[in-house]
């Protein structure tokens, strides 16, 4: 049978309000001892919430708080030590999926990639082979530029097959409204590239940002 709700008297309300800063369990024990009743913890907590009587504590450590374990070392535990990760050691799925530096793969966009390190973040472990080879001859790709395959073959990583162009040219060449550079005949591609460069230069000039 459901318990009847407690009817709080004015004296009881004043008592609880005056001691609102106490932890609720401690307050409950003192309240029931003082008034000789059997109020439940849920009822007391509900009353304090409805009235907005808080303890003043947020549950967070304040600024400047010194942790109890500051300066202390964790005691050695044999069971814990046996399951700790060892530096440089891979086990389970990580070991099964690991690929050594120098491994090559095809990206989702059809470019050949090579693993260059085991560092973090994960996405920087792999770099496009055509970029690596181009940078070996010409240095870093200029800011705001991208490498474009001249013959339209993304797997042809020869540096001579790639040219650094402004990123704004890419949609003019192969974007949704581009000129289909990669699908065009080899003898037509230089003309498409020239037209895209002229359009880009005109656009930049109209904005007063010609370079």
Examine residue 15 and state whether it is found in any structural domain, yes or no: yes
Per the structure, how many domains does the chain have? Answer: 2
pTM for the complete prediction?
0.58
Structure tokens at 147: 């490498």
In 3-state terms, what secondary structure has residue 140? coil
Q: Are 147 and 135 in contact (CB under 8 A)?
A: no
Tens digit of pLDDT for each residue in 154-210? 999 999 999 999 999 999 998 888 889 999 999 999 999 999 999 999 988 988 754
Residue 78 domain flag = no
Query: Under a CB-based contact definition with an 8 Å cutoff, are residues 172 and 162 in contact?
Result: no
- The verdict on residue 187 lying in a domain is yes
DSSP-assigned letter for residue 8? -
Closest CA to 178 of 165, 198, 193, 161: 193
Q: Is residue 62 part of a domain?
A: no
Strand boundaries in 26-161, DSSP class E: 104-106, 112-115, 126-128, 145-149
For 191, the domain range is: 97-206
Residue 104 and residue 175 in one domain: yes
Give φ, ψ of 162 to 5 degrees.
-125, 145
Instruction: For the chain, give percent helix, strand, coil, nearest 5.
Output: 40, 10, 50
When pLDDT is averaged across residues 11-21 and rounded to a whole number, the result is 92
* Residue 74 located in a structural domain: no
Kindly state whether residues 138 and 202 are assigned to the same domain. Answer: yes
Are both 191 and 113 inside the same structural domain? yes
Residue 83 counted as domain residue: no
Together in a domain, 193 and 113: yes
List, for residues 112-136, the tens digit of each pLDDT value: 999 999 998 888 999 999 999 999 9
Q: Scanning the structure block, which residue is given the tokens 């007391």?
A: 44
What is the chain's alpha carbon radius of gyration, rounded to the nearest angstrom? 35
pLDDT the model gives residue 61: 80
């Amino acid at each position: 049978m459901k318990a009847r709700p407690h009817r709080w008297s004015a004296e009881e309300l004043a008592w609880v309000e005056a001691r609102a800063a106490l932890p609720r369990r401690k307050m409950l024990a003192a309240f029931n001892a003082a008034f000789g009743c059997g109020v439940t913890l849920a009822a007391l907590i509900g009353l304090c919430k409805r009235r907005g009587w808080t303890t003043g504590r947020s549950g967070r450590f304040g600024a400047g708080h010194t942790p109890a374990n500051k300066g202390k070392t964790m005691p050695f535990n044999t069971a814990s030590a046996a399951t700790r990760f060892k530096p440089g050691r891979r086990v389970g799925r990580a070991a099964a999926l690991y690929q050594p530096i120098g491994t090559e793969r095809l990206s989702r966009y059809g470019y050949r990639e090579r693993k260059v390190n085991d560092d973090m973040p994960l996405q920087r472990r792999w770099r496009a082979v055509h970029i690596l080879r181009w940078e070996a001859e010409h240095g870093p790709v200029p800011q705001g530029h991208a490498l474009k395959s001249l013959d339209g073959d993304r797997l042809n990583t020869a540096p001579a097959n790639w040219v650094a162009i402004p990123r704004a040219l890419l949609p003019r060449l192969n974007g949704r409204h581009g000129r289909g550079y990669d699908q065009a005949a080899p003898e037509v591609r230089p003309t498409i590239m020239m037209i895209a460069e002229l359009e880009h230069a005109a656009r930049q000039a109209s904005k007063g940002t010609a370079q």
